[in-house]
Amino acid sequence: MTSRLFLPLALATAAVAVTATAADAATYTVCPRFEIETGDSATAAAYPREDHFLGADGGLVVPAYGIHINVYKNGSSVTGGNVVTSPSTGCHTFTTSHAGPFTMRVYARATDANGNSVRIHNAGPGSLSSYPGSTYSLLTEPFSPTAGFNHFVIVGDQHPRWTMMASAAFTLLRAKDGNYNKSIHIAEDTTEDCFNSSSWSAGGSSSNGFLDEGRGYVRIKSGGACDDDARDMKFLIAHEMGHVLLRLRAGNAEGPQSDEFPYGQLQGAVASCVNDPSYHMNSVEWNGLAFKEGSADFISASVFNNREATGRFIRFGQEIDLEFAPDPYAGGRLVNTCNVASTNSWGLGTRGDWLRFWWDWYTDNSCTSPATRLRVMDVFARTVNDHWNGTNPYADNTAYGAVRTALYAKNYGSCLEAEFRHAACWNGVDRQAGYMNNGCY
């Protein structure tokens, strides 16, 4: 059975539990589902296309994976307080002696199988406490499930906040690799600032302590100047969470170089890769920044695309075919589109090339033990940790050498190392003196 229910948004409130008696007890399964509407999803007919949330720009109902809920009878909890839907099915089963109708409070909070959680709160982007603000929630209208059957309750009504929550929960489900009992707090940002109209993730040198305590912060633009609302951009949500998940995997490793990442100004306009007036996936910049942003882009792409399938990614309104590079194409967009050739490209890169580099290494099946998302995250973690503690530092324009050194230190074997070098050359991320792989062997 399915109920289509949505009442005005509310903040989390305390619950009162009701103890069910054994007599006449019945078992119910409730399955909240989010009705979402994204702004960056392909249609089913598009190609290439992503594998998840496909067609969501026209409205889509998706499972509420790992979402916190509380089911009530006459205002008292019949689930014993707040519970979490299954991270794999989005359903929860409970037993009670009470019959329907019930109501259900659905929280903007999800927890995965590793104990990591993500939530949307009302404290604003400036709050960096251990648990900022109150968690948003909504209360359904009454519904009457049938014992022994799944009862689907559709909530969200395509509201941007609940589209964002669905994207965040799905990101946690797919990209939890290597993180345990961490927390991510998302704030909605309505500041009057057009330039910062996308999002922000905390974790610079001023907030490394948060990583020790296992938490990170994200802010997503939700209006304000330019009437910009990014909450319906699934790839953006996963990108910003990707920054935090990567940093949480690396942890806090304060050292002689206390800044988060070294990356200087963007390079000037080069051929068709223009940085002015707008920044995009082909903007030429120091490879330190391209590495950082392209790595978060990879996490986002791997959330909504299956490893075994062709892939699609969208950012800044630009559609990216993850399998773009036909023969011959060595050098990525940096060389082939931006016309940055030979030693003129030393230390430069584009985030789009770094995204495809990671994707190519991740999806290659040449080795007996292929790359995984966790291995990508661990190479990233080793790179930034070596940077922080000074054992393998890098400057704005020497990030690739540090990344390759970190890969070798992980001892994944000669096959994965060779595929790493090949993918780096093919996508033009190895344009650094002493590291360029002529011939892409």
| DSSP per residue, 373-427 | HHHHHHHHHHHHHHHHHTSS---TT-HHHHHHHHHHHHT--HHHHHHHHHHHHHT
Q: What is the pLDDT of residue 160?
A: 93
How far is residue 152 from each of residues 5, 90, 91, 204, 440, measured CA to CA in Å? 10, 10, 9, 42, 52
- Eight-state DSSP code of residue 131: S
Q: What is the pLDDT of residue 104?
A: 98
Q: What is the pLDDT of residue 202?
A: 44
Predicted confidence pLDDT, tens digits, the chain (441 residues): 566 554 434 444 344 444 444 457 999 999 999 999 998 887 766 777 888 998 877 789 999 999 999 999 999 999 999 999 999 999 999 999 999 999 999 999 999 999 999 999 999 887 888 899 999 999 999 999 999 999 999 999 999 999 999 999 999 999 999 999 999 999 988 875 654 534 444 443 334 456 667 888 888 888 766 656 889 999 999 999 998 899 889 875 443 333 455 444 454 444 456 555 567 888 888 888 899 999 999 999 999 999 988 889 988 778 888 886 555 568 888 887 776 665 566 788 889 999 999 999 999 999 999 999 999 999 999 998 888 777 888 877 889 999 999 999 999 999 999 999 999 999 999 988 888 876 676
Q: What is the pLDDT of residue 398?
A: 87
With tokens 């940096």, the residue in question is 334
With tokens 């590291």, the residue in question is 435
Q: Which CATH class is domain 261-441?
A: mainly alpha
Q: How far apart are alpha carbons 171 and 118 in whole angstroms? A: 10
Phi and psi torsions of 102, nearest 5°:
-115, 165
Angle at 333 between CA 331 and CA 339, to 5 degrees: 85
107, two tokens: 């929280």
Q: How far apart are alpha carbons 127 and 148 in whole angstroms? A: 44
135, two tokens: 């968690």
